[in-house]
């Protein structure tokens, strides 16, 4: 190892020793078990979709988002991680 390599190693050990294994280590996990609730345009209004089921139908996007957040809170309180997404609000849609 050259002089520059040894200096870089010392710097890494000094400043980043506490991060070893954290940035790309075992603490990163896949979110496969996370429930995703999607607020989307549906039948001329807005609705929430989760696992193929649509609920929280409303003409107002904010009401549909509130419904999604309420269901997500219930799921979180039950121990299941959740994510609420909003699609279609800028004219872009997911092809299905």
C-alpha gyration radius of the chain: 22
User: What pLDDT is recorded for position 25?
Assistant: 45
* DSSP conformational letter for 25: S
Is 56:64 a contact under the CB 8 Å cutoff?
yes
User: What pLDDT is recorded for position 32?
Assistant: 57
User: What pLDDT is recorded for position 26?
Assistant: 46
Q: What is the pTM of this model?
A: 0.61
User: What pLDDT is recorded for position 23?
Assistant: 47
User: What pLDDT is recorded for position 90?
Assistant: 73
Within 1-96, residue ranges assigned H as helices are: 3-16, 61-77
Cα gap 12→23, rounded to integer Å: 13
For the chain, which residues score pLDDT lower than 50?
A: 22-26, 28, 31
Cα gap 60→67, rounded to integer Å: 11
User: What pLDDT is recorded for position 11?
Assistant: 72
């Amino acid at each position: 190892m050259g002089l520059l390599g040894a200096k870089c190693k010392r710097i890494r050990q000094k400043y980043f020793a506490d991060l070893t294994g954290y940035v790309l280590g075992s603490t990163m996990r896949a979110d496969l078990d996370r429930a995703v609730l999607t607020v989307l345009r549906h039948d001329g209004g807005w609705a929430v979709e989760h696992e193929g089921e649509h609920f929280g139908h409303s003409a107002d996007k904010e009401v549909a988002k509130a419904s999604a957040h309420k269901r997500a809170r219930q799921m979180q309180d039950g121990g299941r991680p959740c994510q609420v997404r909003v699609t279609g609000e800028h004219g872009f849609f997911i092809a299905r």
